[in-house]
Amino acid sequence: MRFATYEHRDRQHVAVIGDDDTLHPLPGVRSLTGLLAAGGGLAGLLEAGAATLDTPAGPDVSEVRLLAPLQPPTVRDFVTFEEHVEGVRRSVDGSAGVPERWYAAPTFYFTNPYAVYGPGDGIPVPPGSSVLDFELEVAAVIGGEGRDLTPEQARDHIVGYTVLNDWSARDLQSAEMQVGLGPCKGKDTATTLGPCLVTADELENHRDQDGFLRLALTAEINGEVVGRDLLSNMSWTFEEMTAYASRGTVVRPGDVLGSGTCGNGGCLAELWGVRGRQDPPPLHPGDTVTLTVEGIGSLSNTVVPGPEPVPVPTARLRSRKRP
């Protein structure tokens, strides 16, 4: 099933998308995150959706404003594509190859859950940045709480998938990561999710013999294709990523786990690293980025001007006196 969150006549709804793109609203449900938190996992979500399909249909998808499918409590973004690491590392800090440590575990960082945008939303240029980039990813959504999960157990905790665009201010990212932390402000302004949540069972027929989802990925800027890859080129499965995320802590309903950016043009920085120049150029207001994932859908957003940065002083050197 496909679940969407949308706005219609100044009200927010959660609905199942029918085969004819009509929306079947879930009575009394205003938040997909809340529905997941109520429990039941994938089976509960499918049961709620099936009951809705027996009721009269609402508006068509084309008649509403789609929102992000959910507002996640946390967003963990992984980096699981070796080709992406090679290209971006060369672009961001001039280093060649892939750090040996990358191969040891599926590394991730926490990004900003308060900066989640939906399909069609304008994406503001981050304050102080002039090198904006997109990043094509797929996100798994957690449907049940778990701690210290095995990959086999983790499969039952993944309720579905959506498209994720991890917007990145490469100039801010390069500067702040010299401190040995981050990315922080370089990734803080926007993450787009959508256009819908596709339940995990819908994509099982795309799973290969090694457990990876073989989905075609395409990135376009202003209608021109700049990247193509397969999701199955990631080096860890979503179940393995979920198990690692739950190690020593918990994953909870609504948590989002990004695959990391795909290779072969999944972002501009990778292309810059490979080509040795900023070709295509950084994104500017008016540019429209469209990301398409087989079996899930397309996610389009246009860049808009952002605010000027609020001034913050540089560090003051202190005397280090002691009482």
Q: Where are the domains of the chain?
A: 2-66, 75-304
75-304: which CATH architecture?
Answer: Alpha-Beta Complex (3.90)
| Contact predicate 30/71, CB 8 Å | no
pLDDT tens digits along 242-288: 999 999 999 999 999 999 999 999 999 999 999 999 999 999 999 99
Looking at residue 209, what is its pLDDT?
96
| Residue spans of the chain under pLDDT 70 | none
Looking at residue 54, what is its pLDDT?
82
Q: How far is CA 263 from each of CA 70, 162, 181, 186, 217, rounded to the nearest angstrom?
A: 26, 18, 24, 20, 10
Token pair for residue 65? Answer: 């404003």
Looking at residue 182, what is its pLDDT?
81
